[in-house]
Amino acid sequence: MSYRTFFGLSAEPFRADLALEQVLTTPELLGVQQRLDYVLRLGAIMLVTGEVGAGKSTAVRYSCGTLHHSRYKTLWVTASAGSILELYRQLLAELDIATASSSRAVLTRLIRAQIDSLVAGKKQQPLLIIDEASLLRLDVFAELHTITQFEADSKPWLPMVLAGQNNLAENLLYRTAIPLASRIVARKSSAGGHPPGDG
């Protein structure tokens, strides 16, 4: 027997595809939204962690859904245990660019060109969401920060949200991940969290 039948509900609860207006706006959910606003202002990185089913993806999706679509361009990537090249190709697909190149330099150049086009040409703020980021390999963490650097690292044009299970925070403690971790200015855990800017 389903929850819907047992409780006489009009729709099945706990669905991942709930419309934004159907999502219960808890203090934790609003905390993610506030931290995302802060990260967007700084062009920095946000970390959202929690156990499976804690609502990380829903909270991020809700927060992104409150952004004005003409002003922001959300680039949503679901991570895997693949290489940095695979992640770059996923990002390029979100940017509507298809390429068979296996060159880091080529892929990075394509990403930078598209981000530059969004910011300078279309006057849109891109936001990169990497869901299931706890699956990323350590060598990916070591290189990921390079795509956030524009004009000698003076332009914060690609803010990022890393969402994943609790081991994500532990993976960012490795020495090779320090350049990426140093850009994290906001954190939110399913067990609480820190105020905006308390990275």
State the angle between helix axes of 84-94 and 104-116 in degrees (0 to 180), rounded to the nearest 10: 30
Q: Give the three-class secondary structure for 149.
A: coil
Q: Average per-residue pLDDT in the chain?
A: 85
CB half-sphere exposure, 183, CA atoms < 13 A: 25
Of the pLDDT bands very low, low, confident and very high (cuts 50, 70, 90), residue 159 is very high
| pLDDT reported for residue 62 | 85
State the angle between helix axes of 27-42 and 56-65 in degrees (0 to 180), rounded to the nearest 10: 60
* Domain total in the chain: 1
For residue 179, being part of any structural domain is answered with yes
Q: CA angle, corner 81, sides to 76 and 86, nearest 5?
A: 60
Say which residue, 166 or 154, is predicted with more confidence: 166
Mean pLDDT of all residues in 104-115: 93
For residue 160, being part of any structural domain is answered with yes
Mean pLDDT of all residues in 121-138: 94
| pLDDT reported for residue 20 | 62
Of the pLDDT bands very low, low, confident and very high (cuts 50, 70, 90), residue 189 is confident
For residue 1, being part of any structural domain is answered with no
| pLDDT reported for residue 17 | 63
- In this predicted structure, the answer to whether residue 30 has a pLDDT above a threshold of 60 is yes
For residue 12, being part of any structural domain is answered with no
For residue 2, being part of any structural domain is answered with no
Instruction: Tell me the residue range of the domain where 147 lies.
Output: 24-193
Element containing residue 126 per DSSP (H, E): strand 125-131
Task: Look at strands 192-193 and 184-189 and give their pairing.
Answer: antiparallel
| pLDDT reported for residue 14 | 56
For residue 102, being part of any structural domain is answered with yes
- In this predicted structure, the answer to whether residue 186 has a pLDDT above a threshold of 70 is yes
For residue 9, being part of any structural domain is answered with no
For residue 8, being part of any structural domain is answered with no
> The whole model's pTM is what?
0.81
- In this predicted structure, the answer to whether residue 195 has a pLDDT above a threshold of 60 is no
Phi, psi of 193 (to 5 degrees): 140, -175
Per-residue pLDDT reduced to its tens digit, 47-101: 999 888 777 888 888 898 889 989 999 999 999 999 999 999 999 999 999 888 8
Q: Tell me, what CATH number does 124's domain have?
A: 3.40.50.300
Say which residue, 163 or 5, is predicted with more confidence: 163
